[in-house]
Copies of this chain bind each other. A is one copy, B any other.
Amino acid sequence: MTTHCDISPADGCPAERLLKALSGKWKAQIFRLAVDAPVRFNALLRQLNGANKQSLATALKELEEEGLLEKEIVQQKPLNIQYTLSEKAKSLIPVFRQLDRLA
């Protein structure tokens, strides 16, 4: 076994998992917006030109499931929900910046 992380198991090393987690449509963009500020459903719908409810809902749900975004109900009264980057996600930011420089 010469690879730095095993190849056989159903699905790969952490980096590969992350890659997959960010590979659906809109996901990378949502992540980038979330770097700057918490994101919200309808706001995203307006910001991301061409996006639709269904795809955004799926993207948000999956980003949450992968532990990159955290959903929080800010207010119940006038319904207000926001998604923020998890600590894990925040720790990835410098790495992505580095990628921006190199790629």
Contacts and interface: CB of A to CB of B under 8 A. Distances in A.
5 contacts: A2-B37, A7-B32, A12-B32, A14-B103, A88-B103
A54 to B, nearest CB: 20
Q: Interface centre among A15, A19, A49, by most B CB within 10 Å?
A: A15
Tallying the copies of this chain within the complex gives 2
**Chain A interface extent, by class:** 35 or more
Given A12-B29, A16-B32, A32-B16, A4 B102 contact: no
Contacts of A101: 14
A100 B15 contact: yes
Contacts of A18: 99, 103
B2 A99 contact: no
